[in-house]
Every structure is written in structure tokens, then in C-alpha cells.
Structure 1
Amino acid sequence: MSRFKRGGITGDPRAGFKDQKDKEPAVPQGLIKAARKSGQLNLSGRGLSEVPASVWRINLDTPEEAHSNVQFDASDRWWEQTDLTKLFLSSNKLPSLPEDLKLLPALVVLDVHDNLLTELPGAIGELVNLQKLNVSHNNLRSLPPALAQLQNLKSLLTQHNRLQEIPEALGQLAGLEELDLSNNSLQNISGCLGGLTHLGQLNLSNNKLKALPAEISALKCLRQLDCTSNLLEDVPTSLSGMNSLEQLYLKLNKLTFLPELPNCKRLKELHVGNNQINTLGPQHLSHLGGLSILDLRDNKLKTLPEEIALLKGLERLDLTNNDLGSLPSSLANLQNLKSLQLEGNPLRGIRRDILSKGTQELLKYLRGRIQVPDPKSEQGAAPVVTAMTMPSDALVNAHAIATLKNLEYSDKQAPAIPDAVFNAVGSSPITSVNFSKNQLTEVPLRIVELKDSACDVNLGFNKIPTISLNLCMLLKLTHLDLRNNFLVSLPDELEALMRLQSIILSFNRFKTFPDVLYRIPTLETILLSTNQIGSVDPLQLIKLNKLSTLDLQNNDLLQIPPALGNCESLRSLSLDGNPFRNPRAAILAKGTAAIMEYLRSRIPT
């Protein structure tokens, strides 16, 4: 007989160790012990599907060490424990919170964000000392009325849930200073919010709101209101009653005009991009003299009134992607203006080289126009094409082809360029091609016929997803405009364009900086704003020793490599609208020289 059988050993010889392991507490006793001293317990990211009862009873039960016959030094006096005031349970798998929550009445902070909660227990109302409650990133469909009992609550974070309404009881939290209801399914907001008289920040973004309640005007302490990405068509005039308001976000809604806010004297930032605003009148601007930032990008503005000069404190004005054909000379009177964004507008009468030199040069040019009443007479100004020179029913402008060497078929919303357009060229040497503002889904094949003379090609505002090789055969190309298309990459063959000086790729879908651009040493201007670029290679950019303008605004750059400060040729570097923390906004506002100096100071020695 086997000696193992004689010994009576049966089953799994490791079973005893498994049982011992299964009985180990989900929360180490060391953490519990430390929490009794500090009053804080952090159990975030531990994969918990439930919280051990010992956590809820931490203030009630006698600790294990009290039953041991040992001597305690000053640091182990369990009877002098501190009540738990901060409990962090975020990033676990908790489906619910028990009623035992009420056993921690001293809690000041409760953080249960990023769990699987579908509701909150009524016992939460007994945490009368609670000042901050974070229940964001869960599956909550409602909030309990018991929240009204939390009269000391200052911060309530409920973003990224499934809330369809908020309880009337919420309006009883008079001491609340911060309320985040963003990224839910709210279709309307109750007037009960008017009772939150100490509220300083209110985030309603990414919901389905069609209107704001008039009672919101009672929020006299509100400094920041974010209503981004809703369905708002109008803003109540009562909004002007919030006379402490400093930042107002109304982007991605359905507004057709600016809100009139006569009493918001402290308003510094007004963000109304991605709406349907087509008119901007003096009545909309007369009360906004304190603004430092006005974001009007992606609207339908055709003109700017001369009264824009009323915004004396304006530092940043974003007019990207509108329908502006001209600019008022009064813009030059904005002495504090540091950033003026105009990409994506059909501006006429202002030379491209002036626009590419940046805000200060443009303002200088506009000041010159104030002194010269007729801007058309200024030497070098682009001719204004009218119905007299280019009949609307004409397919191409024969005069422009023969005399100006310009082939234009733009703003037709055409799916393809007709053969008749190319046929009209004949033997004329075309230097400038403009096929912008159509519905092109590819680069016209016949554009290769212009390879011996074309220097400037504009294919912006189309629907082109890829660049075909026929464009790469235009070896004399110096300027290429591909803005507002569906591009995600550029072909390697583009490096054959060894005369290319400027390329505009803004408002596309690039997720990485196009590698081929690093291999075109003649580049002086690269405009890549409003894409999804996450990084740049400064060591490759340094090799572009002629690069003077680099626009990377509104991308996904999480950090700016310090080595970028060694790109000595850069004279204009635009980085606004990225999620990086450094350089800070104060440094960005000082301009390229300050940014470059800051980056160089961060290079390890």
C-alpha cells in the first residue's frame, strides 16, 4: 500500500493553503489601521464588487490589536482613533452601496466614481457632514430626494451617468458651490436650480437641453456656466441676472445669434462656436466690453460690424470657418488683441502672405487701411471679382486664364471638375489653381496636365479622403491648400515636391503628424490646426531649417517636447486648444518667443 494512503492524506494536499488564502480580508488590515489614525481610507482600483462590513463599522468595532496582550506605544493607541472623514472607493465594480453607509456620519468626502452603481441608498441623507460627493461615471438613472438633507454639501459631481431628470429636492442645497450634471440624458432642467444661491460652477454640457429655466438668473454667485453640446436655440434674457458670470460656454448648440447680457459686466470668456449664428449686430456687442475671449468659430457669419471695436479688452477672437469675405478696419483698434483666427473664411482683398504672418501683421495692415480710405487702390491688393468681370453663368474666366494665369472653379459644390474647365486652359501656362468649396472626393486626375507651371493649388473645403499620386507630380508646387477635407495621411511620394514652401492641412482627420513633411526641407509654413495629432518629433522638425510658421492648435497634444525650443527658425508657433498642462496659458499668451524660451528652459542639461 502506498505510504501516502497509509498516512490518510486524501484530496488536494494544497487545499489548506487555498482555504487560508480565501479567508484573507479583501482590505488589508494595515490600511484599516492607518485609516483609524488619519481618518482617510483609499480603496480605489481594487476590483471590489462589495465593500467589507469592517469598512462601514470602522468607527464602531474594536480593532483586533485590542484583544492582544501587548504594550502599545504612542502611535498604536487604537482607543484614540480618528473618525473616518474621507472614503475613496472609485474605479471598482460596486453595483450598490448598503444602508450601512449611515454608520460613517463623520464623512466629509465620499468618492465612488467609476463603479456600476444604478442607484444611491436613502441612507446617504444621514451623512450630514458630507461636503463633497462624487458619483460620476456610474449608471445612475435618478438621484434620491434624501440628498436634500446634505446641507453642508459643497461639491456634487454626477457627470457620465444616465440621469433623465433631477429631483426638486436638489434645489434645497443652498450651500452647494459646484454642480456637474454633464454627459447625462437631461432633456430639461427644473427651476429648482434657482435655489442654489451659492453655486459658483454649473456644468450642463453634453445633455439634450432645449431651453434653460428663467429661474437660473437667481444664481448670483455663478462664475462658470457650461452648456456645451445641447440643443439650445435661444438663451433667456434673464441670464443677464447672473452678474458674477465670468465664463459662458454655449458651443455646439443651435443658436442663431449672440445672447444679450447687459448685466454680465464680469464676463471674460464667451464661447459660442459650432452654432448657426449668421448675424452679429451692435446690440450683441455693446454689453461685452469686458470680454477677453470670444469664440465664434464654425458659424455662418458673413460680416463683422465696425462695432467689434467696442470689445476693448479682447485678447483672443476666433472666427475660424465662417463666411467672412472682408474684415472691418476697426479691428485694428483692438489694442489688446493677441490672437485672431481666420482660417476657413473666403476673405478677399487681403493678400495670403499678410494672413500667414500672424495677428500683429494683419492688424498693422488693417491700420494702414484706416489711413487709406479705398483699400482697392493699395498696391498688391487682390482684385475683387464681381459679376462684371466674371459672369455667374460662365464656366471659367477666360481673362483670368490668359492674363492672370489663374484657373478657378470654386464654390460650385460640384462633385467633379468638368473637362471643359481643363479644356479652356489650352496652351496657357497656369500658375494658380483654385478648386476649393466643391464636393470633390478625389484630386482631379487632369490636374497633372498643369505640372509644368502650377505653383499654387487650392483644394480646400472638399471631401477628399486621400491624396493621389497625380498631385505629387506637380514638381513646381510652392503652396498647397488642403484644409477642410477628410485626410488621415499623406503619401510618401509627396516628398518629391522639393519647392513646396507652405502646406495647409487644418480641419482634417490626422491622428499623427504626417512623416513625409519632415522630409521636405523647403517648407516654411505648416498649418495643421484642428486635427487629432497626439505628438510631434522635435528632432525631425529641427531639420526643417526654413520652417518659420507651425500651427498645431486644437489637437490632442498631451505634452510639448522641450526640444521643440531648439527649432531656431520658428517665428510663429501656435499651440492653443491642446490638452497639455505646460506651457500654461499665461505663457502661450505672450507669444512664440516666450514659448520657445520656456521650452528651452525645460531641456535637461
Structure 2
Amino acid sequence: MSRFKRGAHVVDSRAGFRQEKEDCPVPSGLLKAARKSGQLNLSGRGLTEVPQSVWRLNIDTPEESQQNLSFGAADRWWEQADLTKLLLSSNKLQSLSENVKLLPALLVLDVHDNQLSSLPDSIGDLEQLQKLILSHNKLTELPLGLWRLTNLRCLHLQQNLIKNIPLDLGNLVNLDDLDLSNNHLMDVPESLANLKNLVKLNLSCNKLQSLPPAVSEMKNLRLLDCSQNQIESIPPVLAQMESLEQLYLRHNKLRYLPELPCCRTLKELFCGNNQIEVLEADHLKHLSSLSFLELRDNKVKSLPEEITLLQGLERLDLTNNDISSLPCGLGTLPKLKFLALEGNPLRAIRRDLLTKGTGELLKYLRSRIQEPDGGLKGEPKTAMTLPSQAKINVHAIKTLKTLDYSEKQEGSIPDEVFDAVDGSPVSNVNFSKNQLTAVPPRIMELKDTLADINLGFNKITTIPVDFSKLKQLLHIDLRNNQLTSLPMELEGLTKLRSVILSFNRFKSFPDVLYRISSLETILLSSNQVGVIDPVQMKTLNSLSTLDLSNNDIMQVPPELGNCTSLRALMLDGNPFRNPRAAILSKGTDAVLEYLRGRIPT
């Protein structure tokens, strides 16, 4: 084509672009790019309706094909890709056209934050659809066609006006994420039993008075949120849920803890803001695997001695109850790190002791454990303890499997401390608040049983490669040290669930953490981390808590929104501009949704 002819066509194409812009609020360049990528993001454009050119994107011949006589490799419109991802969130749409069926290859359709009051029945023709986001609209009912989407894996319907979910819900057998929160549901259908692949179910903020026994048949469900309903009791068959890890029952009308025999997987139970007055031993004995129990804002008057059955408990929130005294056995819980007691009329414990923190309070409770003859439990009755072991709690080693040599402000751990173990199986080590500059080498002697190690508040600068031999480790606390990196060999810690690295000197996110798939909690606040990799972060399918507050993150990658396993994401105190503080204050779900809406196509 001659130079002159090219110039002539430039004039014509501009005229065509002006005409399209008048008829269609979607730039032709965006549509052209969508034909190549198969993805179209029209979020936040103020659309009141979806232009026909979008629905007919893969059907109509593009306008530029009528204006050009020759095409480069980049302009072969006939080699277009089918549209697989369409984002229409944060517009002013009141309805969707029946022509949505003209995009049969769609895998993702996101229409959240609009004004939809209904959906076309033809949405059921999108047979390939895997993710449908309809949250924050004005839907009162759902079309029959929706229940034909049997390939759907993610369905979000939160923040609508839905009063009833039909039995047809059971047709969506491939769902793994279902959110029905913030609607007007009085009940949920028994057909939930068909959703064998469901991993997350959110029923919070509805008007449910009970749960159907069918819920127990969802064998893969890991998270069940029934907060802010009117539930008075939980059916015992819920214990048959073989994978349930997190159960949220806040703001209901419960009078007792749920009785969950055989539910050995439950790790977190949230029962705050109910009407619980008594903790029954029969209920506690079934919760031995719990790591977090929340009972704040109830009417609990006392804790039974059977609280010691919760051997895995790490966090216990009893804020704003009617507790006047504590059982001394509470001090023997080997993993308890956080105990909240504010707002209770505690009379038997001095006020100043309560302000010193969990560690001091538990130490005090342990010291009050009495033998029947009045002597302190665990004190030797003969001179069998060497003078050099006088500061070592041998009783804790033998009965609690805990080796505690903390708050001594020493630069090394004396050999006598390890000698006192004397072959006992130790699962917990606490060497915090000393002056250690390196990890004590003799810790490796405990590698077969050590599950929890606390080296916080020291001056440790490096972690040795041998640390990877502690194969049984579940929890590592390295806060307030001088670490700048972690060895890649730590990926061998395949059971590790939580790692605390706050107040160190990391300038980048430790790469090895991306490779430990078992991690559920990463606390990395108050460092100098500038960048995180959201693609690698998404591979941590068990990660529920991520604290990156007070670092140097200049930009939060939108793809972080795809890390949907996160239940707690802390980002405050970083220099980024978006998400704004108003979004951060709305909580983790709002932040993740905000980020997902800004993922570039």
C-alpha cells in the first residue's frame, strides 16, 4: 500500500472511531484487545447497560476489517480468541440482556456492585462458566437457568435481597465456594448435601434459626460461617464433617458450645456475642484440636477445670463475660499464647498481674497449683535437683513436655538446661527474652518431638541450615531479632503451620515461605519488605492469616485479591496509596474484593 493510501485510511478510521464512540461507551481499542486476549474489563465505567458490541464481540465482523485492505500479523481479526472473562463490576447496570448467551465460552462473569434486580434465564446457556460474582446487587430471586451451570465452582450472591434458595441449588455439584451472606434467608435447602466439593460456605447475616442436618454431608467443607443469624443450637451431626477447620457462630442465640463429637479437624471456633452461660465438660472434651476459641461478649460465669482438655489451644478470648476467678489448670495449657480477659469481674487476681500479659498470668496460675498436702505441685521432696538446675522447671519438662529457659537475659543456653531433658520427649521450647546471637546447636537433640519453638526477643542474625531437620515443627516464633533472610532448606519443614517474623530486618519477603504449603499464619509486620509475589502467594492454599503491616510496600498487587483463603490480611502502616484507608477499615473480604476488581485483563 502506498504512503498516500495509508494516509487516506487514517482519516477514514478516525471517522469510524468517532462514530463508534458516539454509539458505544466502550472504546474500540478495548474491544480489539479483548478479541486477542479473550478478556474484557469494563469495571467502573458508569455503564447503565452493556453495549450490543460486547455481547456480539465474537460474532460480528469488526469495523476495522471493512476499512483495511491488508493486515499485519497483529491485525488478523479472524484469528480472534473467544471471550472467557468479562468484568462488569461497579457500574449502574439494572439488568443483563438475554444476549449474554452469545458468549458461550465465558469462564468468569463478574457483575458485582451494580443495581441488578433480575437475571436473564439465558445465563444458563453459559455451560462453561466456572465463576459467577453477583454480590452487592438488588436480586430478590434467581432464574431457573442459573441451576443449569453445573461447571460452576464459585458463586457469590452476598449483599442481595434473596429470601429463598430452591432445591435446584443441589445441581451445582462442582461448587467449592458459595457465599449467600447478607440476604434474607430463613432457611437453606436440604440439597446442600449434594455439594460434596464445597470448601467454603458463608451463610452469615441472614435470618436462619437452624441448620439442616444435610450440612454434615459436605465432607470437604473447611470453613462454615453462620454468624449474625438467629440460631439457638447446632445439630450434633455437624461433627461428621470430616474436614471442617473453621466454624463461625458469632452473634446468634446459642446457650451452649456446640457438641461436636469426633470433629478432630476443627481448629477455630468463634462463638462471641451469644448467650452462653456455662461451659460443659462434655462439650470441651470434643474440642481437643482447637487452636483458637472465641467466647467474648457472652455470660460465662466460670471456667471448668476441664479447660485443660484443650491441649492444642493457642488463643482464648473471654472478653466481656462474668468470670470472677480462673482455674489454676489454665496455666498448664502448653501452647496458650494469648488470653483476653478484659471486661470480667476478676477478684482473685491482682489488677497489676492482669496487665503484665498472658505469659505472666499463666506463670502465676501454675504457681498456684497445690498438692493435697499443701505443697506446691511439682516441687521435689528430696534433693534430687542439681544446684545448676535450680532455675529449670523439671516438672514442666516431664509433665508438660515444655523446656522453658526464657527471660534470663543470657547470651547462651547452659548445657545443664538440655541435660535436664534427660531423654524426655519435649514438644515446646521457650528461649525468648535472652541475649542469644545464634540458635543453640543442642536444640537439634529434640528434633524428633519438637513442635513449637519460641526464640523471640533475642539478637539472632541467621538461622542455620540444620534448622530444617526439626521435621515436627508446627510453630516458630522469631519476632524481635536481627534476621535479614531465611535459608531455602526450611522448605523441608512440611508440617509448619505458623511463623512469626515481626520486628526483624527483612527487606524482601522470604522466598522459602512461598514453598511451605502447610503454612496457615505468616506474621511479618514491622520489617522493610517492599514487594510481595501474589502468584506464589496464591499457591499457599492453607494460608488464612497474613500480617504485612508496617513495611515498605509501595504498591499492593491486585492479584493478591485472588488469595481467597485469607481470612485476615493486615496491610496498614505501608506507604502505598491504594487501597485507601477507608477500604482497609472494612476488613479483609472488602480488601480482597477491591483488589480483584482491579486485576488488569
TM-score band, normalised by the shorter chain? Answer: 0.5 to 0.7
The answer on 1:285 being equivalent to 2:284 is: yes
Report the TM-score when normalising by structure 1.
Answer: 0.59
- Letter matched to residue 281 of structure 2: P
Match of 1:581 in 2: 571
Cα pair 2:31 2:54 within 8 Å, conserved: yes
Whether the aligned pair in 2 keeps the contact of 1:560 and 1:580 (CA below 8 Å) is no
For residue 181 of structure 1, what is the aligned residue in structure 2? 180
Shift of 1:253: 0.3
Q: How far off its partner does 1:86 sit?
A: 0.2
In structure 2, the residue matched to 1:142 is: 141
1 or 2 for the larger relative contact order (CA 8 Å, sep ≥6)?
2
User: Following superposition of structure 1 onto structure 2, how do residues 232-243 of structure 1 map, counting pairs within 5 Å?
Assistant: 232-243=231-242
**Aligned 1:200-349 pairs, distance under 5 A:** 200-349=199-348
Superposition deviation, residue 194 in structure 1: 1.3
Q: Which residue of 2 aligns with 1:3?
A: none
Q: Is the 8 A contact 2:21 2:27 kept in 1?
A: no
SS in 1 for 2:361: helix
SS of residue paired to 1:179: strand
The answer on 1:37 being equivalent to 2:27 is: no
CA offset at residue 164 of structure 1? 0.3
Q: Distance in 2 between matches of 1:30 and 1:272?
A: 52
Query: Would the aligned equivalents of 2:271 and 2:296 in 1 still touch at CA under 8 Å?
Result: yes
* Partner residue, 1:73: 72
Deviations 1:315-341 (A, max 9, x none): 100001111111011111111111000
Aligned partners of 1:76, 1:20: CA distance in 2, in Å? 21
Q: Deviations over 1:484-533 (max 9, x none)?
A: xxxxxxxxxxxxxxxxxxxxxxxxxxxxxxxxxxxxxxxxxxxxxxxxxx
SS in 1 for 2:269: strand
User: In structure 2, what is the equivalent of residue 101 of structure 1?
Assistant: 100
CA contact (8 A) 2:236 2:261 kept: no
Report how far residue 581 of structure 1 moved: 3.4
The alignment partner of 2:312 has SS state of coil
Report the CA distance between 1:145 and its aligned residue.
2.0
Q: Which residue of 2 aligns with 1:57?
A: 56
User: Which amino acid in the other structure matches residue 43 of structure 1?
Assistant: L
Residue 189 of structure 1: how far off its partner (Å): 1.3
- Quick check: 2:44–2:89 contact (8 Å CA) kept in 1? yes
Query: Which stretches in structure 2 are left out of the alignment for 5+ residues?
Result: 1-14, 377-546, 553-566, 575-601
Whether the 8 Å contact between 2:311 and 2:334 is mirrored in structure 1 is: yes
Residue of structure 1 in register with 2:112 after alignment: 113
Q: Verify the 8 A CA contact 2:190 2:212 in the aligned structure 1.
A: yes
Aligned residue identity for 1:349? A
CA contact (8 A) 1:111 1:133 kept: yes
1:435-476 Cα shifts (integer Å, max 9, x gaps)? xxxxxxxxxxxxxxxxxxxxxxxxxxxxxxxxxxxxxxxxxx
Counterpart CA distance in 1 for 2:240 and 2:20 is 63
Matched letter for residue 132 of structure 1: K
Aligned residues: 375
C-alpha contact (below 8 Å) 1:147/1:169 kept by paired residues: no
Deviation at 1:124, TM superposition (A): 0.5
Query: Distance in 2 between the 1:184 and 1:121 partners?
Result: 20
User: Does the 8 A contact of 1:294 with 1:316 survive in 2?
Assistant: yes
Structure 2 CA distance for partners of 1:349 and 1:269, relative to 1, 3 Å:
same
- Cα distance in 2, alignment partners of residues 144 and 83 from structure 1: 25
Q: Which consecutive residues of structure 1, in runs of 5 or more, have no partner in the other structure?
A: 1-15, 378-556, 563-576, 585-605
Structure 2: which amino acid aligns with 1:580? M
Partner SS, residue 170 of structure 1: helix
Aligned-partner SS, 2:369: helix
After superposition, the Cα gap between the structure-2 partners of 1:583 and 1:247, relative to the gap in structure 1 and judged at 3 Å, is: farther
**What's 1:573 paired with?**
none
| 8 A Cα contact 1:254 1:275, kept in partner | yes
Q: In the alignment, what sits opposite 1:6?
A: none
Deviations 1:6-32 (A, max 9, x none): xxxxxxxxxx9xx96972521000000
* DSSP 3-state at the match of 2:216: helix
State the Cα distance separating 1:242 from its structure 2 match.
1.0
1: distance between equivalents of 2:113 and 2:105?
23
Q: Matched residues in 1 for 2:373 and 2:300: separation?
A: 24
Deviation at 1:279, TM superposition (A): 0.8
Name the CA distance, whole Å, in 2 between partners of 1:69 and 1:370: 89
TM superposition shift of 1:251? 0.3
Structure 2 equivalent of residue 90 of structure 1: 89
The Cα shift of 1:578 comes to 8.3
Query: In the aligned structure 1, how far is the partner of 2:147 from the partner of 2:86?
Result: 21
Counterpart position of 1:424: none
* Contact persistence 1:214–1:239 (CA under 8 A): yes
Instruction: Tell me what 1:168 maps to.
Output: 167
Name the CA shift for 1:69/1:579 in 2 (closer, same or farther; >3 Å): closer
SS at match of 1:276: coil
Q: Are the structure 2 counterparts of residues 128 and 208 from structure 1 closer, same or farther at C-alpha, using a change threshold of 3 Å? A: same
Secondary structure at the aligned position of 2:162 is classed as coil
Cα distance, 1:64 vs structure 2: 1.4
State the identity %: 60
The residue matched to 2:161 in structure 1 has which SS? coil
Shift of 1:44: 0.5
The amino acid of 2:218's aligned partner reads L
Instruction: For residue 368 of structure 2, give the secondary structure of its aligned residue in structure 1.
Output: helix
Amino acid across the alignment from 1:298: D
Secondary structure of 2:316's aligned partner: strand
Structure of larger gyration radius = 1
Secondary structure of 2:70's counterpart equals coil
Q: Deviations over 1:105-144 (max 9, x none)?
A: 0000000001111111100100000000000000000112
Q: Return the alpha-carbon distance in structure 2 between the equivalents of residues 247 and 291 of structure 1.
A: 10
Displacement of 1:583 in angstroms is: 9.1
TM-aligned CA distance change 1:305 to 1:374, over 3 Å: farther
Distance in 1 between residues matched to 2:133 and 2:289, nearest whole Å: 34
SS at match of 1:240: helix
Q: Following the alignment from structure 2 to structure 1, what is the Cα–Cα distance between the partners of residues 358 and 219?
A: 36
Q: Residue 558 of structure 1 contacts residue 578 of structure 1 at CA under 8 Å; is this kept in 2?
A: no
Distance (whole Å) between structure 2 residues aligned to residue 150 and residue 578 of structure 1 = 31
* Cα distance change, pair 373–326 in 1 and its aligned pair in 2 (3 A): farther
Aligned counterparts of 2:63 and 2:56: Cα–Cα separation in 1: 13
- Per-residue deviation, residues 338-364 of structure 1 (Å, max 9, x unmatched): 100000111111111111000000000
Give the structure 2 partner of residue 358 of structure 1: 357
- Counterpart of 1:420? none
Q: Is the 8 A contact 1:115 1:137 kept in 2?
A: yes
Q: Per-residue deviation at 1:234?
A: 0.6
Distance 1:582 1:223, change over 3 A: farther
TM-score with structure 2 length normalisation? 0.60
Change (3 A) 1:166 1:104: same
Report the secondary structure of 1:370's partner residue.
coil
Given that 1:188 and 1:211 are in contact with CA atoms closer than 8 Å, whether structure 2 keeps it comes out as yes
